[in-house]
Structure 1
């Protein structure tokens, strides 16, 4: 997350806030190329979270921070977070008829402590079964949460909120109140 000359100071501050945010050690972040057509300025990160059962790919996702100094009407602001969370599910959880509502409540709970507005998104349940020469593969189930919102104030806590959502989707227990992560993984 580097800034070039001519980049608006508010976007540079946002980049520093993201870089300085401390996340749980289970969250492994990687910067990737940001989308170029949605906003004049953007940064994109991917993350993978290992589950408490040792599953290396319990959850993964993408966090994109967009900035348009002129603002965009749909954002109701000059910044927008666009996020994706994808998690593997056990068969019992995948068959729960309230899965989508529960997954959306995870988004709302994760964002409860950060100032935001214009929240919207979708939750999709994905079930895959293999046939023919692939019939020996086990059935797989996933949940995919796509959410976007306009952050207010410091954007660092929004990255932490999204990371908490990833950890919840991965099945990790929440950190107790007053306990914070000690290290940063980038």
Structure 2
């Protein structure tokens, strides 16, 4: 059995930065397996926002690192993200929804001063209609944003914080200004 490879110093700094991130309390964040074929080193976080038993948003935040760099990334790190949330029908039918979803990401990065280059992504509206034995289910419209960007340096915490704030926006939660701490919502009796 061969020994595990030593983690590069830059990747160790990025991991430490992620651990220091202050994320929204409504968000359940857990490490999940990172894609193995995209880069020599990677870490992935899965997240969901569930309130009162209802899933409002789900997503993935992946940090890839190739010490040799990548011309496609324009750097040695790449952040790859995915967010999906169900929307109200009137909002989900808006033809500008993709532009709004992209703007939510860019604004979240700017608010956290998460410096980046080479950003790209796709926004998709998904209409689910049910038929037959499932016809009683109401139609549902989901928004899905897949995006990636190259962080400027190893400071990943602002990127993770921005992404969790964007997830909260997708979930329809109000923004929380810096310096304000959200109180835990009281549990509903069962």
> How much is the aligned-residue C-alpha RMSD, in angstroms?
1.7
| Structure-2 change in CA distance of 1:55 and 1:167 (3 Å) | farther
Counterpart position of 1:94: 92
| Structure-2 change in CA distance of 1:143 and 1:96 (3 Å) | same
Deviations 1:52-99 (A, max 9, x none): xx4631111000000000001110000000000101101111111211
Structure having greater relative contact order (Cα 8 Å, sep ≥ 6): 1
Is the 8 Å Cα contact of residues 21 and 160 (structure 2) preserved in structure 1?
Answer: yes
Partners of 2:183 and 2:40 lie apart in 1 by 34
Q: What are structure 1's unaligned runs of at least 5 residues? A: none
Provide runs of 4+ in structure 1 moved above 2 Å.
177-183
Any idea what SS the aligned residue of 2:12 has? Answer: helix
Q: What are structure 2's unaligned runs of at least 5 residues? A: 185-190
Counterpart position of 1:176: 177
Matches within 5 A, 1:67-146: 67-112=65-110, 113-146=113-146
Is the 8 Å Cα contact of residues 22 and 182 (structure 1) preserved in structure 2?
Answer: no
Any idea what SS the aligned residue of 2:54 has? Answer: coil
- Report the CA distance between 1:30 and its aligned residue: 1.0
- Report the CA distance between 1:148 and its aligned residue: 0.2
User: TM-score, normalized by length of structure 2?
Assistant: 0.88
Partners of 1:114 and 1:179 lie apart in 2 by 20
Aligned residues: 178
Counterpart position of 1:39: 39
Partners of 1:148 and 1:60 lie apart in 2 by 17
**Larger gyration radius, structure 1 or structure 2:** 2
- Report the CA distance between 1:22 and its aligned residue: 1.2
Partners of 2:131 and 2:158 lie apart in 1 by 44
